[in-house]
Chain A
Amino acid sequence: DQQVKQNSPSLSVQEGRISILNCDYTNSMFDYFLWYKKYPAEGPTFLISISSIKDKNEDGRFTVFLNKSAKHLSLHIVPSQPGDSAVYFCAARMKTSYDKVIFGPGTSLSVIP
C-alpha cells in the first residue's frame, strides 16, 4: 500500500516554462513533507520542505503547495532550466521513535532547451 503517490512517472517541460510535479498521500499522520531531487548515479539531495501547518513554502525558483484537505502537494519550478532535469521524489514524515520518512516512486522531469 503506497502511502505517498506520484502518479506521473515522467514530465517534459520547455525551458523557461513552469514545471508542476504532483504528489498525493493517504496518511493524515504525516506532519512534514519534503521534496528531493536525484540525478543518475547519485544520491537524492534535499530540495524544499513544508510543514503540515502551512500551505505554501517558497525558496527561489521552487515553491511547494500543500492542500491538506485533499492530501495533495505540488512542487512548482519557475522558470524551468535544463539543469532541473532529474528525478523528483516526494516524501512525507511521520514522527515515531525516529524520523520515519516515506518516499514516493518519483517523477522524472525533462526540461527541453
Chain B
Amino acid sequence: SQTIHQWPATLVQPVGSPLSLECTVEGTSNPNLYWYRQAAGRGLQLLFYSVGIGQISSEVPQNLSASRPQDRQFILSSKKLLLSDSGFYLCAWSQTGGVQPQHFGDGTRLSIL
C-alpha cells in the first residue's frame, strides 16, 4: 500500500532563517505531488505541484520554492523565512490518470518567531 511521510511535524524558526521541509511517498511510482498551506479559517491553498522529476509549477508567488530531486521526494524550501510564512503545510500525492483523490501527509506546523 502507498504511504506518505512528511517531516518534521512541528518546526519553530526565527525570521530570516532558511527552511527545508521534506515529503516522501512509498508504494507508488510517478505520482503527482503537491504542497499546500492551510491558514486559520481558510481552505487549503495550493502552493506547488509536480508531475515529474524536476518539473515544478507554482500556483502563487511567494517566498517559498519547491524541488523534486527524485520521483517520490518533494521538498519545500525557503532561503529567508518571513513572519507571514507561518502556517500548516501539507504535502499530498495522487495517481496520474483518471480522477484520482489526493492523499495527504500529516502536515508540518511552522511557527516563525
Residues of A within 8 A of B (CB): 2, 4, 9, 31-32, 34, 36, 41-46, 49, 51, 89, 93, 97-106
Contact = CB atoms under 8 A, between A and B. Distances in A.
A103 B90 CA distance: 13
Contacts of B61: none
Contacts of B107: 41-43
Given A43-B4, A102-B43, A103-B44, 12 more contacts: A31-B99, A41-B106, A41-B107, A41-B109, A42-B107, A43-B105, A43-B107, A51-B99, A97-B51, A97-B57, A103-B36, A105-B41
A101 B99 CA distance: 11
Interface residues of B, number: 27
Contacts of A46: 101-103
21 contacts: A2-B43, A31-B99, A41-B9, A41-B107, A41-B109, A42-B107, A43-B90, A43-B104, A43-B106, A43-B107, A44-B90, A49-B101, A97-B51, A98-B51, A99-B94, A99-B100, A101-B102, A102-B46, A103-B36, A103-B45, A105-B43
Contacts of A104: 43
B64 interface: no
B43 A99 contact: no
A4 B44 CA distance: 11
